[in-house]
Structure 1
Amino acid sequence: MKSIMFFCIPAHGHHNPTFPVVKELVNRGNTVRFYSFNEFKEKVEATGATFISCDAYLSEVEKEVESGEKTMSTIDMTIVDLQTTAKMDHFLHNEVEEFKPDVIVSDSVCFWGKLTARKYKIPMVVSTTTFAFNKQSASYMKSSFAEIMDLIKGQKRVNAELKNLEQYGYHEKSIMPLVQNDNYTDTIVYATEKYQPFSNTFSKHYAFVGPSVFSDYLPDKKNQRPLVYISLGTVVSNKPDFYKKCIEALRNENVDVIISCGRVVDPQSLNGLAENVKVYSTVNQLEVLSKANVFLTHNGMNSTSESLYMATPMVLFPQTNEQRAVARRAKEMGAGFELKGESVTEIHDAIMEVLNNGKYADAAMSCSDDFRSALGPKGAADFIEAAPHLMPKEDKKNIRREILPGVLQLVFWCVMIAFMFSFKALTGSDKWWIVAIVANVIFPFYKKLVARLV
């Protein structure tokens, strides 16, 4: 039996998939300490794990973001998380010394969990509650120009925070190893191989276990009339005008509507606007989804996975880059229709499209079958108990896969540049620029060829 430290950020979508896994680990006799936040205490303790509160180390702005009262840019959140790591250093040092964990399981964006594992050289398993992102799957993440500029401008500030962490024994030269997936770190992904984009490009250090769900509910869509469920999650749910448009769009349709509006919007301000609509701050989402015929969602990974697990097709309304990636994949699987705008007409037409076209429900059912046949919490627990996964031959292949393409691309351009400089001597012509044009045309095909060969 192992002693295991679990770390997570203060977000429902990152906590929820871990609870069935933790419960499975505890039931097997492992000792688990879950470093979480007071809001999740009851759920953590229900798994049998020991709850350790980290609220004292959260900044006020982090609490506001989690409550939905405020949003932050990626750079600002990165900086705040690095500062939180510094605040927690002494506390976590004492915890490691006293508990002596065999393995650390850290959320993929929980810097203090990852850095603790690295500092004390403790085997680590990364818990990835969205898709795993590498060079191939990162194509699903499309940043706006403003977001790219924010990342560029904020890099100096991030580097300053990394420099500050050196005094605590954390020696990270770049933020990238903390935020991106690699092929050497043991990683659990709560998606199936079929659902994960480019799953074949990840190493054997990855376990695609599928959704981790606490539920005995089964899909049961035999309603007297169609049930429409609307929720934008817990972080970006402060959109009362949008909910009012949804109510207006559906008030005269022969459907029942349930809206989960989050903790910021007062449900009483929306209830009574239409007889067929009921609004709540929170609901038992899995129970509602088991009966719902369509789900208008922000496409958080957790909500989207639960929707497909319950065979519920979706109207896709992503709010962030990560959510856009999840929505794109759901659309590719045929299980969702994208909401292009926020007008009453667009909302109405999108929902009715999914309700009236059976292809979306069929695709959602296919995804449900795939999800329910996955490894699930038991497979995730097996993977954690077996960590670290030592694969010297596999890791050598990974090095070749990562380094060789860059080397061959460098060779390509060296040859092209040499040819340009010697073009006149070889051909007697001054039109060396022809080589540059041809090289730029050929290069994309060359990259694809190298990727296949490697």
Structure 2
Amino acid sequence: MKKVMIFCIPAHGHTNPILPVAKELVLRGNAVRFYSFNEFRSKIEKTGAEYISCDSFLPKLSSEQEKNLKEVSASEMSIQDIRITINMTDFLDKEFREFAPDVVYSDSACFWGKLAADKYHVPLVVSTSTFAFNQLSSQYMKSSLKETAGMLFGLPKVNKELRRLKKYGYESRNLLSLVSSGNDTDLVVYTSKNFQPYAESFSDRYAFVGPSVFSDAQPQKKERPIVYISLGTVINDRPGFYRNCVKALRNEPVDVIISCGKMFDPQTLGTLPDNIKIHPYVDQLDVLSETSVFITHCGMNSVSESLYMAAPMVLYPQTNEQQAVAKRVTDIGAGIMLVDDSAEGIRSAVRKILNSDGYAKAAEKCCHDFRSCTGAKGAADHIENAPNPSDGKDVIKALNKAIAAEQVIYSGFAVLLGAVLFRKRNKKFLWIYILAAVIFSGAVKNKFQDIYYKKLIIR
């Protein structure tokens, strides 16, 4: 029997995949303490784990901070995570001394779980509710100008908070090392190797277990198509979008189910046609098992559940992380991007999915792949065996060595070429050459990285 501490942030998308894993750990006879928040208490207690409330450690937020969190500001989320960690210091010290855990299972965005495991020298396994990200797979994430500016302007505040951690006995890290994991860390990723971008670049300490779900349902599509619409549990107060969906599909030969969350008042849509129903929440897996088209915000859980139930998608991502998930769905041919969210654009996208068998077949193929994974049982194995052995192969380290050599060669060539070109010429254009060389350096690096990566994984 192992004593397991589980930590998670107050978010449905991060908590839900951990729940089947917690239940599996309990069924195996492990002592499991789940540190979470009262909103999730009922779900957690149903797993058999001991629920420990952390609500009292949440900082009081200003209206501006609440607004930033609702908009999924990376810098604001990091700042609040650090403050929660500091608020929990004395409590966690007592918990770790009294419970003496054998292993910590912490969500990837949960700083207090990861930092505490390091502070008390307890083996850590990280729960990854989206893709595993490194320098290769992160190419799937394209931040908007607003997201990039928000992170850059917020970084000084984040660094100020990070420096405070050292006073409380935590290792003071930079933000990147705190939010990411290397190949020497144990991770559970809730997707398959086939769906994970650049899966071969991760060490065997990464367990790709597939979707972690509570459902025995099988895909069973209705003769009359069902279109299911959900924007998740965070950025879902979108009355204009819901109105366009109603307008787009009210006269179509489909039944429509909209899950709008608790922030939106369905009454504002007025009287709905008979073929459209709207609810604050639904049993998403049950609905998806009968769905022919899913219009989704592309949260990893929603997309995984959709593919688990062989439902192709119209993709409407709202954040850079969701953009990455959406790109992967289009890669495998199981969905299309919604580039026009007008009524006409929505209607056209839905018709395109319904009128082409290719999307449904791609979703079905992924469904079989997901269902062949180890799921919660594989995750529990990985946690119980932590720290897990490794074969020592690290594609990223080998890749970085090659890139460093390539950059030295490129820089030398660029300097030599510049010396030849501008030795006897007017040097007023030299700065243009330098700027072009720097910009081109990034493109050359990325191209070399992709080529050399393919060579490494073939070996």
Give TM-score, length-normalised by structure 2. Answer: 0.91
| Cα distance, 1:331 vs structure 2 | 1.1
Q: Runs of 4 or more off by more than 6 Å in structure 1?
A: 62-69, 427-439
Q: What CA distance in whole angstroms lies between the structure 1 residues aligned with 2:423 and 2:344?
A: 66
Match of 1:181 in 2: 181
Select the residue among 392, 395, 402 that pairs with 1:394: 392
- Equivalent pair of 2:210/2:370 in contact (CA under 8 Å): yes
**How many Å separate the matches in 1 of 2:419 and 2:4?**
62
- Kindly state the Cα deviation for residue 452 of structure 1 after the two structures are TM-superposed: 5.3
Mapped to 1, the partners of 2:384 and 2:165 lie a distance apart of: 30
Counterparts in 2 of 1:453 and 1:371: CA distance versus 1, 3 Å: closer
2:201–2:395: 8 Å Cα contact kept in structure 1? no
Partner-residue secondary structure (3-state), 2:392: helix
Alignment of structure 1 residues 201-350 onto 2, 5 Å:
201-223=201-223, 225-270=224-269, 272-350=271-349
For residue 170 of structure 2, what is the aligned residue in structure 1?
A: 170
What CA distance in whole angstroms lies between the structure 2 residues aligned with 1:289 and 1:209? 21
The answer to whether the aligner puts 1:412 opposite 2:392 as a matched pair is no
Q: Is the 8 A contact 2:191 2:210 kept in 1?
A: yes
Matches within 5 A, 1:366-445: 366-391=365-390, 394=392, 397=394, 400-401=397-398, 403-413=400-410, 415-416=412-413, 419=416, 440=440, 443-444=444-445
Task: Indicate the RMSD between aligned Cα atoms, in angstroms.
Answer: 2.9
Alignment of structure 1 residues 11-30 onto 2, 5 Å? 11-30=11-30
Q: Is the 2:13–2:299 Cα contact (8 Å) retained in structure 1?
A: yes
CA contact (8 A) 1:416 1:435 kept: no
Q: 1:228, 1:294 within 8 Å by CA — same for their partners in 2?
A: yes
- Residue matched to 1:102: 102
SS of residue paired to 2:134? coil
Paired position in structure 1 for 2:353: 354
Q: CA deviation at 1:136?
A: 0.7
Matches within 5 A, 1:119-138: 119-138=119-138
Distance 1:128 1:48 in 2: 22
The answer to whether the Cα contact below 8 Å between 2:244 and 2:342 also exists between their aligned partners in 1 is yes
Residue 292 (structure 1) shift: 0.9
- What TM-score do the two structures reach when normalised by structure 1? 0.91
Q: Please state whether the residue corresponding to 1:394 is helix, strand or coil.
A: coil
Identity %: 49
Which structure 2 residue ranges, 5 or more long, are not aligned? none
C-alpha distance in structure 1 between counterparts of 2:63 and 2:374, whole Å:
34
Aligned length: 449
Instruction: Name the amino acid aligned to 2:376.
Output: P
Q: Which residue of 2 aligns with 1:91?
A: 91
Q: State the one-letter code of the partner of 2:402.
A: P
Evaluate the alpha carbon distance shift between residue 447 and residue 238 of structure 1 in structure 2; reply closer, same or farther with a 3 A threshold.
closer
Q: 2:229 is paired with a residue of what secondary structure?
A: strand
User: Judging changes above 3 Å, is the alpha-carbon distance between structure 1 residues 394 and 69 closer, same or farther for their aligned structure 2 residues?
Assistant: closer
Distance (Å, rounded) in 2 between the aligned partners of 1:68 and 1:415? 45
Give the whole-Å Cα distance in 2 for the aligned partners of 1:109 and 1:199.
21
Unmatched tracts of structure 1, length 5 or more: none
Q: Aligned partners of 1:265, 1:446: CA distance in 2, in Å?
A: 48
Aligned equivalents of 1:68, 1:413: Cα separation in 2: 42
